[in-house]
Amino acid sequence: MTPSRLIAILVGVNLVLIAAGTVLIGAPTKRPGAGLKVGLVFDVGGKNDKSFNEAAWRGLERAKAELGVDATYVEPSEGADRESALRQMAASGKDLVIGVGFIFGPDLERLAKQFPKVKFAGIDYSPSPGVGTIENMVGLRFREHEGAFLVGAIAGFLTRTKMVGFVGGMKIPLIRKFEAGYEAGVHHVCPECRVLGAYAGTEPKAFADPTKGEELASAQYGQGADIIFHAAGKTGDGVFAAARRRKARAIGVDSDQHDNAPCCVMTSMVKRVDVAVLDVIRELAAGKFKGGLRELGLAEDGVTFIADERNRGLLPLDVVSKVKKLGEQIVARKITVPDQ
């Protein structure tokens, strides 16, 4: 074989190897959630409530982008629509069906038994009396009172009138947890402060009534409150409207609500619903789904408060430092936060 012929053969082999390597490098990697079908049903207020539901939607979108799952959602308008939406998703071959909100609990329990091959997850789930662990259903809930304690401390440190307010949505134990934690945080740093409290109603629609929220907040501002924390879903938009009109301050909930009223939202108590949704989908994709109850608080990074450059003008760094130390004391169990 001539030298020129040998060189030609070697060059040809190298080209083949390079081409093969290019194919291997460029080949798409199968994502862990590819082929999984996930359905999510929102609570009152819908996807665009800029609060609780929107946080769940962000988790679903992350699961689509990071895991490659096939994800769909439904925004029911009434209670009957909510149950039928869950049922339709379970019957259509979804691998996981997620209900966002405490009100889904009984429906999820019933459907989990009727569709044993489908996995279910409930955000803010509270078991019905006598219901134990359901193997194909996980309940995800939060220690909201811990996060509310921290924003209560912020209000206590920064109030000028020694009077602050709380506006809740539906009057239920879950929202009372927010109020109890907030009150405790205010009084921990400002024992002489007064906390005004009000609720928008006793039915789920109380989370979707901005007009009522503005009315309640206006009354509290009128009584002398200079900071109001809301735990009211879309009703909280009314709290922000009242704050803008009176050039007062407010505290958001569940998601970072700075953009709702940049003039007035000094911070938001964030409830990491997005992380909870993403994690349960990730566990299903990894074959590690496990039924039962799971609770997230400060120690698990399930609740926190917003402190960044956008709200620095309303939330000084020295206050942030003090409040973070209070959070550390809660995690270390040196401070016990009431939940009712």
Q: What is the CATH number of the domain that holds 130?
A: 3.40.50.2300
User: Which pTM value belongs to this model?
Assistant: 0.85
- Helix (H), strand (E), coil (C) string for 173-185: HHHHHHHHHHHHH
The neighbouring-strand residues paired with 89 are: none
Q: What is the pLDDT of residue 105?
A: 93
Give how far Cα 284 sits from Cα of 34, 38, 112, 287, Å: 11, 10, 16, 5
**Domain annotation covers residue 181:** yes
Residues 158 and 279 grouped into a single domain? no
The residue range of the domain holding 95 is 37-142+274-296
Query: Cα(64)–Cα(85) distance, rounded to whole angstroms?
Result: 20
How confident is the model at residue 21, as a pLDDT?
45
pLDDT at 19: 43
Q: Residue 168 falls within a domain, yes or no?
A: yes
Token representation of residue 72: 């769909």
Query: What is the predicted pLDDT for the residue at 200?
Result: 98
The answer to whether residue 20 sits within a structural domain is no
Name residue 296's beta-bridge partners.
142
Domain count, the chain: 2
State whether 79 and 210 are in the same domain: no
Are 182 and 321 in the same domain? yes
User: Is residue 6 one of the residues assigned to a domain?
Assistant: no
Q: Residues 242, 94: one domain?
A: no
- Asked whether residue 193 falls in the same domain as residue 314, the answer is yes
Note whether 67 and 119 are same-domain residues. yes
Are 115 and 161 contained in the same domain? no
* 281 touches 63 (CB < 8 A): yes
Provide φ and ψ at 88, rounded to 5°.
-60, -40
**Is 108 in the same domain as 206?**
no
Q: 7, exposed or middle or buried, with CB in 10 Å at 0-12, 13-18, 19+?
A: exposed
Residues 238/215, Cβ–Cβ less than 8 Å: yes
Contact 140, 108 (CB under 8 A): no
Tokens at 240, concatenated: 């922000």
Q: State whether 324 and 235 are in the same domain.
A: yes
pLDDT at 49: 74
What is the chain's pLDDT, residue by residue, as a tens digit (340 residues)? 554 454 444 444 444 334 444 444 455 567 887 899 999 999 877 777 777 888 899 999 999 999 999 999 998 775 558 889 999 999 999 999 999 988 899 999 999 999 999 999 999 998 999 888 999 999 999 999 999 999 999 999 999 999 999 999 999 999 999 999 999 999 999 999 999 999 999 998 999 999 999 999 999 999 999 999 999 999 999 999 999 999 999 999 998 999 999 999 999 999 999 999 999 999 999 999 999 999 999 999 999 999 999 999 999 999 999 999 999 999 999 999 999 9
The owner of tokens 């390597």 is: 21
242 and 201 fall within a common domain: yes
Q: Are residues 312 and 178 in the same domain?
A: yes
Residues in the chain: 340
Output the six-digit token pair for 172: 């239920």
Report d(CA 178, CA 267) in Å as an integer: 15
98: its two tokens: 């997620």
- For residues 192 and 279, membership in a common domain is answered with no
